[in-house]
Amino acid sequence: MYDVLSIRRANPIEEVAARSGVELRPVGQRLVGRCPFHRDGRPSLVVYPRNQSYFCFGCDAGGDVIDFVARLHEVGFKEAAAMLSGPSAETRSDGSPKVVTLTTRRRAEALTRTEAEVIDAAAAFYHDALWQSREALAYLTTRGIDRSTARRCRLGFGCHGLADYLRGRGLSPAAARRVGLLAGEEDTMLCRIIVPDLRGGRATWLTGRALGQVAPRYLNLRLATPLLGLGMVRGDEVVVTEGPFDWLTAVQWELRAVALLGTRISRSTVQSLARFRRVYLALDTDDAGRRAADGLAAALRQRAIVVELPPGVHDLNDLGRSPAGREAFQRCLELATHRKEKRWYTFDTTAGLHAAA
């Protein structure tokens, strides 16, 4: 077990980021640099020394120093914590640990039974809290998400009292601390819209979207990031979106969909999507989204169909806030399918002519 608070104190995130090769420059009380997690043409990584966190506005990665190291070296939470505090870590001249380079790929860590029960219980606690918060319900309305979708996806709202709630059900606050739901007795997901990943009806992971301009925008559990919604998909076709609210929009439109939760394409993501006959790529229209779509299309080949969103639309949730958004997206899907079929028909015909010659 690791003392997370001690690790954070011993490893200021701005120092870890700088030693990892990120050039940071001060902007007010923040530090800004190019994100190491995606091809960052313009500085989009923001480090917040005051609350020891970071967030990338290009790929939506965010968290604390342990999450930063885990993403950077593609390892799990325990390995990242060990790199920062374990016996294998190198030390600075003052005796505190510094990051060492590992080549281990990130892998999903198996949840203990207690941790799994805590995550599902927390999702239930937050879901009940959602209906008591006018602010949270109003925010969902501004994002075009109705109450039926909120119930179906077990959306929640972060509030005080999770530790006592868990104790009242005989569950361990210590397990909640291990996965990042608590820092001591404090709730880490306060004032955030909670979006859980559901498998068999149970929440196995979740992220919290801050209301307002609080950083980081999204705060995830300290577990491997899943392909959001994969456990709810049945059939041989799927729509791939980028962010949680893009996914919620697709679910509300009764589409079988998943969300990448960023633009980083891992081998496990490609493997998970390879089981589908058709994979519609409806990612954001910015440079990062287009690069991710191109990368997935190259990996999935004929299975992939890149969907062009209407001009002026940034992402699927943006389109979902339009009264005619669902119909517009259906036309986008049909047009993308037609283009794909026409392209392959032309290819097959040409290949046939060449073979005949």
For the chain, domain boundaries: 4-98, 113-220, 230-345
Q: Report CA 162 to chain centroid distance, whole Å.
A: 23
Question: Phi and psi dihedrals of 33, rounded to 5?
Answer: -160, 180
Instruction: Indicate the fold that domain 230-345 takes in CATH.
Output: Dna Topoisomerase Vi A Subunit; Chain: A, domain 2 (3.40.1360)
Bridging pattern class, strands 278-281 and 257-259: unpaired
CATH topology of domain 113-220: DNA primase DNAg catalytic core, N-terminal domain (3.90.980)
> Judging by beta carbons within 10 Å of its beta carbon (0-12, 13-18, 19+), is residue 137 exposed, middle or buried?
middle
Kindly give the confidence (pLDDT) of every residue in the chain, 357 residues in length, as a single tens digit, with 9 standing for 90 and above: 567 888 888 889 998 888 777 888 888 889 999 888 877 777 889 999 988 999 998 888 899 999 898 887 767 787 788 888 744 344 444 433 333 332 223 334 568 899 999 999 999 999 999 999 999 999 999 999 999 999 999 999 999 999 999 999 999 898 998 888 988 888 999 999 999 999 999 999 999 999 987 777 888 888 888 999 999 999 999 999 999 999 999 999 999 999 999 888 888 899 999 999 999 999 999 999 999 999 999 999 999 999 999 999 999 999 999 999 999 999 999 999 998 876 644 434 333 333 332
- Prior bond of 216 cis (ω within 30°): yes
Out of 3.40.190.10, 3.30.1120.80, 3.90.580.10, 3.30.300.30, the CATH code matching 4-98 is 3.90.580.10
Q: Which residue in 214, 260, 295 sits closest to 61, CA to CA?
A: 260
